[in-house]
Amino acid sequence: MAERNGIITGGKLPAWVFVSMPTIFILLVAVYPFLVLVHGNFSLSFFSEITGNSPTAQLVRRGIWNSITQGVLSALASFVVGLPLGIFLGRYEFRLKRALNSLILVPFFLPSLIVVFAVLSGFGNGSAASSILPFSGYLSGGLPGILVVNTFFNAPLVAFFTKTAVERADVSLEEAASTLNSSTFRSFYSLWGRDGIISGLGGAILAFIYSFTGFAAPLIIGGIGSYTLDAWIYFEYRTYNLPAAIFFSITEALILLIPAAIYLLYSSRMVRTTSTGNRERNGTPYRSLFFLAGIAYAILWVATEVYLLSSLIINSLEVRGSSVLGLDNYRYLVSREISSSIGISIQGAVMNTLFYGTVTATMVTAIGIVWVIGKRRLGGGKFLASESFQYVPLVISAVIMGFAILVVFGISAPGNLIWVLIVAAQASVAIPVVLRIIDNGFATIPVSQSEASMILKGIPSLEVELPLAKSAFATSLMFGFAISIGEFSSTNLLASGSFIPLTVMLYSLQGIRLFGPAYAVGTILLIISILAFVIIQKLGERFVAFR
């Protein structure tokens, strides 16, 4: 073991430092600013204050109720919608399955603002759906609209968790059970169904957390009566009520400790995905009733997805004056009026988006590679205390993180270095995802190959591990990029003027009721997101779909 630990610098300390790098980063970016924010604002009377009759206490209770309601209902809906998709994709092999799987995952990969505007354009006034089915207009606002957004965003997450669990089922055990005339229900429960449902519930826990901390949907389509705690934090800060914003932040973090701990326990016991990918015994069951029902359900999901996203694009096209192609909204984006209204040109916002995405992806991937190499040098075991900190962004949400960073670091940070704070916040949000991708990629590399490189006085990380894990390496870079361009909650608080990316520009345009240009910006952001998703599919197969 001493020789293994010595590959880097000759002792255990460097490897432990490498393993601790994600923890150190999150402590500096997320935990420290939050603790500074909390210091002096938390006392033993905190919980009694929540039950009091002050305006802040009443808003806290309303925010808690809205957050729990939206979280529970969205998690339930995501589980019900996503579980059948996951079971279908996990049980059957057929032509074009890979393409269908990719299409089903697209919504989870999109920025939350894109999903919000897609629902608005697909079910709002004047939409094709509302003209055919008048009741569908209710799906574009209030609690129903929020639930549609959250379900559309999170159901693919549940489907992916379920699919990977079902694919892990041992085909030989299923064949043995069939030979012994085991009942269909018993085979389902014992061999693959139970694991699929449990994994789907893991996805539902994340769906609850993401919906509980909902920000974009409550602000834009929910209205003040549907504000979650995150939305209230943003509102109170923008109205210069700093004590109330801090009060809300502490409340939310304390509540999220429970589902985050449940998910940490779940992920620590979850079997690593090692799918054989072999379901040839099912053949191509085009005549199977279950297969036909599954393919019909999957096609319905994809059709809904295509309709909503195409509605966003159509709403960006508006014919005015002598215009024929309907590009007036795009032309307006390059006008000086936009620059003076928002504080940045569309070209600048695109460049900022690409810059933040590139720097964030590179930084987080580098942290992940150093972490996993250090972990392998220490024997590849689990470091629960250290790895638990990687899930801190599930407790300190992005809007709280942005709020804390702005209060603690924003005052003293030079104006031209605001981008550093933005990238730091985005990287912290991306760490839980990217590190899981890299960990899964390196897990398939035999330790014996790294040890052989050591014996030959080589550099195992460069000669063995990185080349063999290049698929996960590429995926982590692109996934970090995607999370960055879609992160809105903290970026909306931190970015201003020449540092505004497309997400903040989109929100600002709808805020001043320039809806046409807002849809145009949304379409540009959609195109960038889809391109990033396609590249992920091309460069890497190890896709770990949670954020």
Between these two residues, 454 and 495, which has the higher pLDDT value? 495
pLDDT band (50, 70, 90) for residue 101: confident
User: Is 477 a domain residue?
Assistant: yes
Confidence of residue 337 (pLDDT cuts 50, 70, 90): confident
Whether residues 229 and 88 fall in one domain? yes
Classify residue 411: in a domain, yes or no: yes
Q: Are residues 338 and 267 in the same domain?
A: no
What pLDDT is recorded for position 199?
86
CA distances from 542 to 234, 438, 440, 441, 442 (A): 36, 9, 8, 7, 11
Is residue 417 domain-shared with residue 445, that is, in the same domain? yes
**Among the listed residues 422, 427, 434, the one whose alpha carbon sits nearest the alpha carbon of residue 363:** 427
What are the phi and psi torsion angles at 327 (to 5°)?
Answer: -100, 15
Residue 46 falls inside a structural domain: no
Average pLDDT in the 175-203 region?
Answer: 66
534: CATH? 1.10.3720.10
Task: Please indicate, yes or no, whether residues 81 and 171 belong to a single structural domain of this protein.
Answer: yes
Residue 125 vs residues 121, 130, 243, 348, 522: alpha-carbon distances, Å: 8, 7, 39, 32, 18
Sign of CA dihedral 120, 126, 131, 134: positive
Q: Do 485 and 528 form a contact (C-beta atoms < 8 A)? A: yes
pLDDT of residue 11: 45
Highest mean pLDDT, choosing among 16-20, 213-217, 319-323: 213-217
The whole model's pTM is what? 0.84
Task: Indicate whether 474 belongs to any domain.
Answer: yes
Report yes or no on 34 lying in a domain: yes
pLDDT exceeds cutoff 90 at 476: no
Based on the domain organization, do 212 and 360 belong to the same domain?
no
Question: Is residue 48 domain-resident?
Answer: no
Judge if 345 and 468 occupy the same domain.
yes
Helices within 409-514 (DSSP H only): 418-443, 447-455, 460, 466-468, 470-486, 489-494, 502-511
Q: Which amino acid is at 230?
A: D
Instruction: Please provide the distance, in angstroms rounded to a whole number, between the alpha carbons at the two ends of the chain.
Output: 35
What pLDDT is recorded for position 482? Answer: 85
Tell whether 288 is covered by a domain. yes
Q: pLDDT at position 453, please?
A: 56
**307 plus 441 within the same structural domain:** no
Looking at the fold, whether 131 and 239 belong to one and the same domain comes out as yes
Looking at per-residue confidence, does 382 or 525 come out higher? 525
Instruction: Determine the average pLDDT of the residues in 283-302.
Output: 82
Can you read off the two tokens belonging to residue 263?
């998910």
Q: Tens digits of per-residue pLDDT, 219-269? A: 898 888 889 999 888 888 888 888 888 888 888 999 999 998 888 887 766
Q: 395 with 261, same domain?
A: no
Q: Which residues pair with 327 in a beta bridge?
A: 318
Segment 106-144, tens digit of pLDDT: 898 889 899 999 999 999 888 888 888 888 888 888 899
Interval 398-414 mean pLDDT: 84
Asked whether residue 76 falls in the same domain as residue 216, the answer is yes
Is it the case that residue 196 has pLDDT exceeding 90?
A: no
- Give the DSSP H/E element, type plus range, for residue 369: helix 346-377
Q: Above 90 in pLDDT, residue 148? A: yes
More confident residue, 422 or 274: 422
Reference 205, options 148, 159, 263; nearest CA is 263
Range of the domain at 492: 1-41+327-547
At 271, list the tokens.
């079997």
Residues 137, 21 share a domain = no
State the pLDDT at residue 461: 59
**3 pLDDT band (50/70/90 cuts)?**
very low
User: What letters, b where the CB count within 10 A reaches 16 and e where it falls short, cover 157-186?
Assistant: bbbbbbbbbbbbbeeeebeebeeeebeeee
**Does 535 share its domain with 494?**
yes
pLDDT value at position 274?
43
Residue 163 resides in a domain:
yes
Question: What's the mean pLDDT in 380-397?
Answer: 75
Helix, strand, coil % over all residues of the chain, rounded to 5 = 80, 0, 20
- Number of compact structural domains in the chain: 2
